[in-house]
Structure 1
Amino acid sequence: MGSLWTLPLVSLPLCFFFFLQRDSIGACPGETFPTVDPRTEEVLADVAKADVEDINRAVKAARKAFDHGPWPRMTAYERSKILLKYADLLEKHNDELATLDSLDSGKLYSQSQGVEIPHFVTRLFRYYAGWADKIHGKTLPADGPHQVLTFHEPIGVVGQIIPWNFPMVMFAWKVAPALACGNTIVLKTAEQTPLSACLAAKLAVEAGLPPGVLNVVSGFGETAGAAISSHMDIDKVAFTGSTETGKLVMQAAARSNLKPVTLELGGKSPFIIMPDADIDQAVELSHFALFFNQGQCCCAGSRTFVHESIYDEYIEKAKARALKRVVGDPFKSGVEQGPQVDKAQFEKILSYIDVGRHEGANLVTGGTRIGNKGYYIQPTIFSDVKDDMAISRDEIFGPVQAVTKFRTVQEAIERANNTTYGLAAGVFTKDIDTANTFSRALRVGSVWINCYDVFDAAIPFGGYKMSGQGREKGEYVLHNYTQVKAVVTPLRNPAWL
């Protein structure tokens, strides 16, 4: 098995969408694009490239499935059983899905295989299978002789656009709740990481999802993504990605049919270390908060605020930890960091490192590529970072940690909030009052106290400010995929009269 991971995955074009007809799975003719192995910079596969007409075909299939098909009309219990069967198939193919994600994105295979697919994909489908028959309305009191009911109905055809940093996790975050609510879907994969969603779509057929319910499309944002965002027959769009692209998605949705939009966007999250912290634990946790997934995480703790009393000690220990970090092939045991996802992201990160040097930040360690093949970058730490520097303001999305010092709690709060983003924050302290103060004062969607990147199917995730709108996961996400209908009926002989 290990030797196969070094070979090209396939040599033939993959189909750019699945209409979930058992006789329609296969290669589609037309234009293709390559998906590249970031370890070797070699082509893994040629993938069919969807254009506007292809999006129209996918939407037509989803529209037919919603307006006339069985999925929104079957009992919620029946939908739940299909989602549970789907989860069983995802579990059965855990290692294949993990391999595809690691090949496509460069993420650690141990992370994909042991954590992401079992806990954040399969588990999520089972969680929302449990929700399917618990989505219901209410009976409301009225001032007059009327019976008032509310129905929580599926919103319709949903367009979903997912990013490349967590391909299958984002697939599950989007698809599972939308299906549980009875919607049909057109989902566009990231052009850098299309492979695992193709297998996931095939497994959905095997699970018994009716034709047209889930349509998976591979293509580019400026064509396929734009067509989804502006399509008049799509009732709702959900997007995860950069803030800049999120703005374009919202504009396109507004210009078309004013469809509702949920956005999970960028971040520049603070990680705040108080003077009472165990310094060794703080170093390890802040290291994880930034360098996890090659730094390619929207909620990465990329702005590290350290109290001035422990700042120098922290810098020395953080440098030592970064120098110990093992960078290499993500399929090899003991490796902590794989390559960046593609050449464009690789070059963007290196350019920000150059900007950090030129703006006067102190390069503590790292700062260059590793080797001459593959998109590997040294774990990089800057100290003496000022709040107005680009490496402190902008989302780099790579293994670049910006460390700065602070004096007081109030200063840390004000500087942590002084950003256009508001996705997450970490606070490391032994004092419960300090923890409570930060948890209330920080304007972010998630606050992790003495931990970081703790996710669960039931925990909502999303941002304040330009980090997005709406929430993923938990019960909260169900509001994204349902609409409320009020039904009022007069009571001719009220029981209470």
Structure 2
Amino acid sequence: MERYRLYIDGKNCDPDGGEWFSSESPFTGKPWAEVPRGGPSDIERAVTAAHRAFVSGSWPELTASARGLLLHRLADRLAAEASRLAAIEVRDNGKLYAEMHAQLNYLPQWFRYYGGLADKVQGSVIPLDKKGYFNYTRHEPLGVVAVITPWNSPLMLLAWKLAPALAAGCTVVIKPSEFTSASTLAFVQLLEEVGFPPGVVNVVTGFGNEVGAALVSHPLVKKITFTGADETGRRINEQAARDFKHVSLELGGKSPNIVFDDANLDDAVNGAVAGIFAATGQTCIAGSRLLVQDGIHDEFVRRVVRLAETARMGDPMETGTQVGPITTRPQYDKVLSYIGIARAEGATLALGGHPADRPECGNGWFIEPTIFTNVDNRMRIAQEEVFGPVLSVICFKDEEEAVEIANDVRFGLGAGVWTSDIGRAFRMAERIQSGTVWVNTYRAVSYMSPFGGYKDSGLGRENGIEAINDFLQTKSVWINTGAPTGNPFVMR
């Protein structure tokens, strides 16, 4: 098996505890790599290195343009290594090579975009209402940033955080998911090659209670950016509040994918299937609640079932595979438990509902694409995030009821609307409580467009121009150009 090492202060190193743990392939169900089991002392080394790099050495001496150039160089190296890194990610998390290869070829754009934005961060001269003063603002980097990434799209979600953090001038300690650490440890080897100073980016792998907690609570960490479960995000937010740390949290979703009777049904069927069965449903924006208008409900469900049952399952490295395995064994068990919950709640099983026993699935953690109908929005299957290939179909009668059902959940990350009525498209986009609304499409993202959630789906935004602001703080500078000092006991 391949053995990976921690990356601290520009060097690959062993964990202080001298322990490794196995990473299992979701396709074979067998270990394929050994990952360092970091601990609090490793976090101490990494955070200290990041803080030292932030306050001294060559990193704080770089101009914003020079930082941007480093990001452009990293983008070029990432593009050259895209195929290799995609293959590592597939082996580690089981997502389709076709999707991972496309993602890795797109990810350099994040580093190019924020590399170009690095020297576009500008302060302002304030036209004061007071004579004899000159006032301007500076936007300065926060300091050491803790980056905590999930197991479903490790490098993509790392890029969303790392690119703006580095463009802003921060330094970083990354804690990837213990289930999918390999691609991150492989990726950071590119940083030294393109000239990033030691300590600017560090990686400590391990378990949440041993590594994540120590990173979040470290006094030198000034910001935490996290993607993952809302329960974990809530604990991080509570811990961060004690020390007034900045946070950005991209958490769970229970996204409505709403189909009206005037929609292009061929497109909407494809959108419904893509919304939940692409990435095996392991995405925070999964359209796991399919809301269908009553006049087309039965026919539309038949068409969705017919398309979903043709999905090709198997080796995620094969180009013809459309649905891969569940990434982790605990998640596999969780998805099956929710299928049991849906049955117990009285939902009607229209497709799937059991582990895949197809020969092409081997010993991997595969679950058949599953569709439940006759779902009431109050059911747990409609309210709680399953994070797997399980679709709940809910019938609605009109626009008002669609909005009511769509918003009647504690999450608000994404939503889809399928209609040929442009007025309805604008009305739904305004009324749905969600950070992103797709109209006549689904799962489209860009480095140029902000992404984040309402309600329990998180805080802050990633991507787009405004994302860099989450890694900066504003300083106001006052210069007396000739105002009299006056009475020292009166505010100027």
For this structure pair, what is the TM-score category when the shorter chain's length is used for normalisation?
A: over 0.9
Match of 1:460 in 2: 450
- Matched residue type, 1:242: A
Match of 1:95 in 2: 83
- 1:50 partnered with 2:6: no
d(CA) in 2 for partners of 1:392 and 1:292? 19
d(CA) in 2 for partners of 1:338 and 1:170? 20
Question: Structure 2 length as normaliser, TM-score?
Answer: 0.95
Contact 1:270–1:304, Cα closer than 8 Å, also in 2? yes
Match of 1:439 in 2: 429
1:105 to 72, 77, 93: 93
d(CA) in 2 for partners of 1:79 and 1:17? 21
Contact 2:15–2:42, Cα closer than 8 Å, also in 1? no
Contact 1:234–1:259, Cα closer than 8 Å, also in 2? yes
Match of 2:304 in 1: 318
Match of 2:487 in 1: none
Contact 1:63–1:184, Cα closer than 8 Å, also in 2? yes
> Which runs of 5 or more residues in structure 2 are unaligned?
485-492
Match of 1:5 in 2: none
Match of 1:75 in 2: 63
Match of 1:378 in 2: 368
- 1:341 partnered with 2:335: no
d(CA) in 2 for partners of 1:188 and 1:110? 26
**1:16, CA displacement in angstroms?**
2.2
- 1:419 partnered with 2:402: no
Deviation readout 1:276-328 (Å, 9 max, x if unpaired): 01222211111101111110000111101000000000111111011101111
d(CA) in 2 for partners of 1:374 and 1:337? 12
Contact 1:18–1:201, Cα closer than 8 Å, also in 2? no
- 1:482 partnered with 2:472: yes
Contact 2:6–2:13, Cα closer than 8 Å, also in 1? no
Deviation readout 1:56-87 (Å, 9 max, x if unpaired): 11000001001112213311111111111111
- 1:226 partnered with 2:213: yes
**1:28, CA displacement in angstroms?**
4.6
> Which runs of 5 or more residues in structure 1 are unaligned?
1-7
Match of 2:200 in 1: 213
SS at match of 1:196: helix
d(CA) in 1 for partners of 2:379 and 2:222? 41
Match of 1:283 in 2: 269
- Matched residue type, 2:385: E
- 1:202 partnered with 2:189: yes
d(CA) in 1 for partners of 2:51 and 2:13? 22
**1:27, CA displacement in angstroms?**
4.5
d(CA) in 1 for partners of 2:118 and 2:247? 22
Contact 2:15–2:37, Cα closer than 8 Å, also in 1? no
d(CA) in 2 for partners of 1:101 and 1:421? 28
SS at match of 2:8: coil
- 1:182 partnered with 2:169: yes
SS at match of 1:218: coil
d(CA) in 2 for partners of 1:376 and 1:477? 36
2:142 to 139, 152, 155: 155
Deviation readout 1:313-351 (Å, 9 max, x if unpaired): 011111101110111110112110110001100010001
- Matched residue type, 1:205: E
Contact 2:329–2:365, Cα closer than 8 Å, also in 1? yes
1:307 to 266, 290, 293: 293
SS at match of 1:58: helix
d(CA) in 2 for partners of 1:402 and 1:283? 14
2:345 to 359, 372, 380: 359
d(CA) in 2 for partners of 1:18 and 1:217? 8
Give the alignment of 1:232-251 within 5 angstroms: 232-251=219-238
Contact 2:85–2:186, Cα closer than 8 Å, also in 1? yes
d(CA) in 1 for partners of 2:105 and 2:380? 37
Contact 1:16–1:219, Cα closer than 8 Å, also in 2? no
What is the aligned-residue RMSD (CA, Å)? 1.2
Contact 1:159–1:236, Cα closer than 8 Å, also in 2? yes
- 1:402 partnered with 2:388: no
d(CA) in 1 for partners of 2:252 and 2:398? 27
SS at match of 2:50: helix
- Matched residue type, 1:191: E
- Matched residue type, 2:162: V
- 1:118 partnered with 2:118: no
- 1:369 partnered with 2:355: yes
d(CA) in 1 for partners of 2:135 and 2:245? 27
- Matched residue type, 1:397: F
- 1:16 partnered with 2:3: no
Contact 1:72–1:183, Cα closer than 8 Å, also in 2? no
d(CA) in 2 for partners of 1:235 and 1:73? 20
**1:18, CA displacement in angstroms?**
3.0
Contact 1:17–1:218, Cα closer than 8 Å, also in 2? no
- Matched residue type, 1:326: R
Deviation readout 1:416-454 (Å, 9 max, x if unpaired): 001100101000000011001100000110000001111
SS at match of 1:254: helix
**1:219, CA displacement in angstroms?**
1.1
Question: Structure 1 length as normaliser, TM-score?
Answer: 0.95
- Matched residue type, 1:414: E
d(CA) in 2 for partners of 1:18 and 1:170? 21
Contact 1:49–1:220, Cα closer than 8 Å, also in 2? yes
**1:493, CA displacement in angstroms?**
8.1
Contact 2:6–2:12, Cα closer than 8 Å, also in 1? no
- Matched residue type, 2:228: G
Deviation readout 1:347-388 (Å, 9 max, x if unpaired): 100010011111100000001111361101100000010011
Deviates more, 1:67-76 or 1:156-165: 67-76
- 1:25 partnered with 2:12: yes
d(CA) in 2 for partners of 1:88 and 1:333? 25
d(CA) in 1 for partners of 2:111 and 2:273? 31
**1:480, CA displacement in angstroms?**
0.9
Contact 2:168–2:468, Cα closer than 8 Å, also in 1? yes
Deviation readout 1:255-284 (Å, 9 max, x if unpaired): 3x2211110000000000001012222111
